[in-house]
């Protein structure tokens, strides 16, 4: 299994282990304060061996150090090679809204078979008037309010498309 670009089975095992050890030390220093003002914790990198299992693989992320103490649920997605943060930290409610929004966008793709995934997300970016939209990481920058706005705009757009289809038929 590859660890952030290092393959433990190749080269000098001591050099690989040293490189991995130093990388882990650097990663552990990438903490930021938790966005929850009542928590008082920090978001620390959770790496392989202790990370969450998602879509068939282990994934590193930032998680609140007070998760087990007070149940703080803030996390942040990380690039799996460089461990650079992707998007903004989110609590469980915002993550659920992001998942719901993503499901609605993909449902839109499935309802209109002529459009692919990128087309569905690009259409959504136009609806949101979002010039910073990133197709690789579509909604990781969305907070709760922006997710709710996105869901509302998608509903309205679907209604308008349905009304146009009804008039043509």
Distance between CA atoms of residues 85 and 62, nearest Å: 8
Question: In the predicted model, is pLDDT for residue 148 greater than 60?
Answer: yes
pTM of this prediction exceeds 0.85: no
Instruction: Sort residue 56 into left (φ over 0), alpha (ψ -120 to 50) or beta.
Output: left
pLDDT tens for residues 107-128? 878 887 778 888 888 888 888 8
**CA-CA distances (angstroms) from residue 94 to 47, 50, 61, 134?**
23, 23, 16, 18
């Amino acid at each position: 299994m590859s660890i952030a670009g290092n393959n433990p089975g190749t080269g000098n095992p001591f050099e690989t282990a040293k490189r991995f050890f130093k990388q882990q030390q650097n990663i552990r220093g990438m903490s930021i304060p938790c966005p929850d003002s009542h928590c008082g914790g920090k978001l620390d990198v959770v790496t392989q061996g202790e990370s969450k299992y998602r879509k068939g693989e282990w994934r590193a992320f930032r998680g609140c150090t007070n998760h087990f103490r007070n149940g703080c649920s803030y996390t942040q997605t990380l690039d799996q090679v460089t461990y650079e943060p992707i998007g903004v930290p989110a609590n469980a409610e915002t993550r659920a809204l992001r998942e719901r929004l993503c499901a609605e966008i993909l449902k839109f793709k499935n309802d209109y078979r002529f459009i692919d995934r990128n087309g569905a997300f690009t259409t959504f970016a136009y609806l949101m008037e979002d010039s910073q939209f990133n197709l690789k990481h579509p909604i990781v920058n969305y907070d709760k309010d922006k997710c709710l706005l996105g869901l509302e705009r998608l509903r309205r757009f679907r209604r308008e498309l349905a009304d146009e289809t009804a008039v043509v038929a």
